[in-house]
């Protein structure tokens, strides 16, 4: 970690903050702002404090270590080149000649680095060993990020576990709530490999060994986020990228192995039959996740270097560090996805779609409905199964990250090519009526569609009057905005003061449509009039949304919708209800609050002169919905 800091410092990619800042809110709030700035850097806080408990830590806190594409290249390397190497490895074929064999040797030689090496001696991570009464998680500068968080959470912990017989080793990253000096809440979500392993110990009636490493080579941390298939040890990626075997040492109190150079190691055991309420926590979706029971780690030992650095991250509304952490994952796993979706050319998971909420994919559209085949392939593979909304375009489409991709999609969109399905959802998803399961939307935009009869583009005022007529039984249209009006399928954004569920409106429109067909008087109903002027209508809460801020609007829309409930197709129009839901909508779960910064903390950081690099703060806050002032 110290070498990592030196690399960042030498490349002007690090800011050092010497001002004493509190581990509760102040440090994470500054990191939250920094990663959203144009020239985002890593932050090293050299004087963290805990004012409430009168603690001054001598352990620096490092944040935003992956907070830019520049930092990713410095710490992970040339991602595109590594992706190409993985693609070549997957496509390896037996040599047909001695010449082929000699060309193959360098690639085979690299495979020797995949298996980690277990050292016989103690590691740097075990220079200081605390056991028994000396164990105190409070001695580590663990952060509290958001005002309504249930406590302090470790956010960059490498969680090492293994199967009961030791044949499967696993590395993951989960938030870890500090309950007291020797207990951690393990946020092991229902679909995670750690839960699979925990079941083995439960059936055997044994406690499960768990070790949490923090710090060391920054690449360990990225490996902990990698979505490898069950049974493949994530540190194999470390060896593949570094061209050097990961060096590990055995823990003091359990039989697990951890990187020899970690800054901290928290060792212990989980009793499979003990659960404790964990949360709330402002998560990477930008919303608080609810309080729920999760396993508990009883800490038996904390080991560390003599001069450790505490590594942490902050999650919330985009863009954040996971934008950059996700980039190497996206690139390196493209060749692996292509093994199950062979016509896949490229894919992109926008950070304001919080990755699992939206994916754009480019495929070779060799035959009709190949996009739907690819949708099902995605929804059946590992963490891709959590994707809620997938849009597929053909191989000739512009770059998936370019501004040109949106009009390209809208010129090929058709309601006939929308697939609404259901399946598993990420455990953090709040929009679906039921936990961890809900609606999915796939859109096939791979084919040219016949030029439709042009819409009658009305003024915003005229269209607003029509929409008010359509939606009046559920509330009031505050204002609208039409975008992409030069495409075949313009989008109408509707800021709505909702009084009743919009489901009632959709039922009325469907009834009206059926009546007009029966009476052959379609031209007489309001829905038919609207159909001549609109194609895609997105309805959002007026209080929370700025129709000019498309970045944050997309974030809120894909977070807030469940396709089976909220996407309604009436004739050739698509209505998307992205408003907050409650019992009136048949939604009986708790609708979460958003992660908003505490204004008093922002004002304090500003008074210290720490926010001067962010320009006009009012505009900065509004752009990224930093605090409640965006309302």
Measure the CA–CA gap between 424 and 383, rounded to whole angstroms. 10
Measure the CA–CA gap between 189 and 200, rounded to whole angstroms. 16
Rounded average pLDDT over 295-324: 97
Q: How far are the Cα atoms of 172, 592, 594 from residue 293, in angstroms, in the given order?
A: 19, 17, 21
Residue of 212, 123, 199 whose CA lies nearest to 160: 212
Query: Which own/partner contact pairs does 196-201 have at CB distance under 8 Å and 24+ positions apart?
Result: 196/230, 197/161, 197/162, 197/163, 197/164, 197/168, 197/170, 198/270, 198/272, 198/295, 199/272, 200/163, 200/164, 201/164, 201/270, 201/272
| CATH number of the domain where residue 92 is located | 2.30.110.10
Bond before 319 cis per omega within 30 degrees:
yes
- Half-sphere exposure of 488 toward its Cβ, with a 13 Å CA cutoff? 16
Confidence of residue 516 (pLDDT cuts 50, 70, 90): low
What residue ranges in 323-468 does DSSP mark as E strands? 344-348, 359-363, 389-394, 418-424, 437-445
Confidence of residue 474 (pLDDT cuts 50, 70, 90): very high
Phi then psi dihedrals of residue 547, to 5 deg: -65, -10
pLDDT of residue 522: 45
For 380, other C-beta atoms within 10 Å of its C-beta total: 13
Measure the CA–CA gap between 298 and 350, rounded to whole angstroms. 38
For 135, other C-beta atoms within 10 Å of its C-beta total: 18
Task: Assess whether 518 and 562 both reside in one domain.
Answer: yes
CB burial of residue 514 (10 Å; 0-12, 13-18, 19+): exposed
| CATH number of the domain where residue 393 is located | 3.40.1670.10
Task: Assess whether 381 and 486 both reside in one domain.
Answer: no
Within a domain: 328: no
Within a domain: 455: no
Task: Assess whether 87 and 191 both reside in one domain.
Answer: yes
Across-strand partners of 492?
482, 537
Confidence of residue 526 (pLDDT cuts 50, 70, 90): confident
Task: Assess whether 83 and 131 both reside in one domain.
Answer: yes
Task: Assess whether 260 and 360 both reside in one domain.
Answer: no
Task: Assess whether 486 and 578 both reside in one domain.
Answer: yes
| CATH number of the domain where residue 571 is located | 3.40.1670
Q: Quick check: 59 and 140 in contact, CB under 8 A?
A: yes
Domain assignment of residue 608, given as a range = 599-630
Within a domain: 319: no
> How confident is the model over 534-574, as pLDDT tens digits?
999 999 999 999 999 999 999 999 999 999 999 999 888 99
For the cut 60, the answer to whether the pLDDT of residue 524 exceeds it is: no
Confidence of residue 347 (pLDDT cuts 50, 70, 90): very high
- With b for 16 or more beta-carbon neighbours within 10 A and e for fewer, the 465-498 pattern comes to ebbbebbeebbebbebbbbbeebbbbbbbbbbeb
């Amino acid at each position: 970690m110290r070498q990592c800091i030196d690399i960042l410092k030498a490349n002007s990619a690090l800011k050092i903050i010497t001002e004493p800042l509190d581990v509760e809110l102040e440090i994470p709030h500054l990191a939250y702002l920094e990663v959203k700035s144009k020239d985002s850097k890593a932050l090293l806080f050299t004087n963290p404090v805990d004012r409430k408990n009168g603690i001054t830590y001598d352990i620096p806190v490092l944040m935003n270590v992956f907070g830019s594409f520049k930092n990713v290249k410095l710490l992970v390397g040339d991602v595109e080149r590594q992706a190409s190497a993985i693609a070549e490895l997957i496509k390896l074929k037996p040599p047909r000649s001695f010449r082929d064999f000699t060309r193959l040797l360098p690639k085979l030689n690299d495979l020797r680095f995949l298996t980690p090496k277990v050292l016989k001696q103690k590691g740097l991570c075990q220079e200081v060993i605390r056991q028994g009464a000396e164990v105190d998680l409070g001695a580590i500068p663990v952060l509290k990020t958001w005002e309504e968080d249930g406590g302090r959470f470790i956010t960059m912990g490498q969680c090492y576990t293994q199967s009961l017989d030791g044949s499967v080793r696993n590395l993951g990253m989960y938030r870890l709530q500090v309950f007291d000096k020797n207990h951690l809440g393990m946020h092991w979500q229902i679909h995670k490999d750690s839960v699979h392993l925990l079941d083995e110990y439960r059936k055997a009636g044994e406690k499960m060994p768990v070790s949490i490493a923090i710090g060391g080579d920054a690449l360990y941390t990225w490996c902990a986020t990698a979505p490898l298939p069950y049974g493949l040890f994530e540190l194999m990626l470390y060896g593949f990228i570094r061209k050097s075997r990961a060096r590990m040492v055995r823990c003091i109190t359990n039989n697990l192995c951890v990187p020899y150079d970690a800054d901290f190691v928290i060792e212990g055991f989980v009793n499979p039959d003990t659960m404790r309420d964990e949360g709330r926590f402002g998560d990477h979706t930008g919303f608080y996740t609810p309080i729920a029971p999760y396993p508990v780690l009883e800490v038996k030992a904390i080991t560390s270097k003599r001069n450790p650095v505490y590594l942490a991250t902050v999650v919330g509304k985009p863009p954040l560090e996971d934008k950059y952490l996700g980039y190497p994952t996206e690139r390196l796993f493209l060749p692996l996805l292509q093994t199950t979706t062979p016509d896949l050319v490229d894919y992109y998971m926008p950070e304001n779609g919080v990755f699992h909420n939206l994916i754009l994919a480019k495929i070779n559209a060799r035959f009709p409905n190949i996009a739907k085949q690819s949708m099902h392939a995605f929804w059946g593979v590992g963490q891709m199964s959590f994707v809620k909304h997938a849009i597929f375009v053909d191989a000739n489409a512009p770059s998936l990250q370019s501004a040109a991709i949106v009009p390209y999609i809208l010129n090929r969109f058709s309601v006939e090519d929308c697939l609404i399905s259901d399946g598993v959802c990420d455990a953090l998803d709040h929009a679906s009526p039921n936990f961890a399961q809900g609606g999915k939307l796939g859109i096939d935009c791979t084919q040219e569609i016949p030029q439709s009869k042009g819409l009658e583009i009305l003024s915003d005022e005229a269209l607003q009057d029509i929409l008010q007529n359509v939606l009046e039984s559920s509330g009031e249209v505050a204002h609208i905005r039409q975008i992409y009006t030069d495409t075949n399928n313009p989008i109408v954004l509707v800021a709505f003061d909702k009084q009743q569920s919009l489901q009632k409106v959709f039922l009325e429109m469907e009834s009206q449509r059926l009546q007009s067909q029966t009476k052959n008087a379609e031209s007489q109903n309001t829905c038919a009039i609207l159909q001549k002027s609109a194609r895609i209508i997105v309805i959002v809460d007026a209080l929370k949304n700025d129709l000019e801020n498309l970045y944050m609007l997309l974030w809120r829309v894909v977070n807030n919708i469940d396709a089976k409930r909220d996407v309604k197709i009436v004739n050739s129009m698509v209505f998307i209800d992205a408003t907050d839901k409650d019992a009136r909508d048949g939604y009986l779960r708790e609708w979460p609050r958003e992660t908003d910064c505490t204004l008093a903390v922002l004002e304090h950081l500003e008074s210290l002169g720490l926010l001067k690099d962010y320009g006009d703060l009012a505009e900065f806050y509004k752009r990224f919905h930093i605090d409640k002032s965006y309302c």
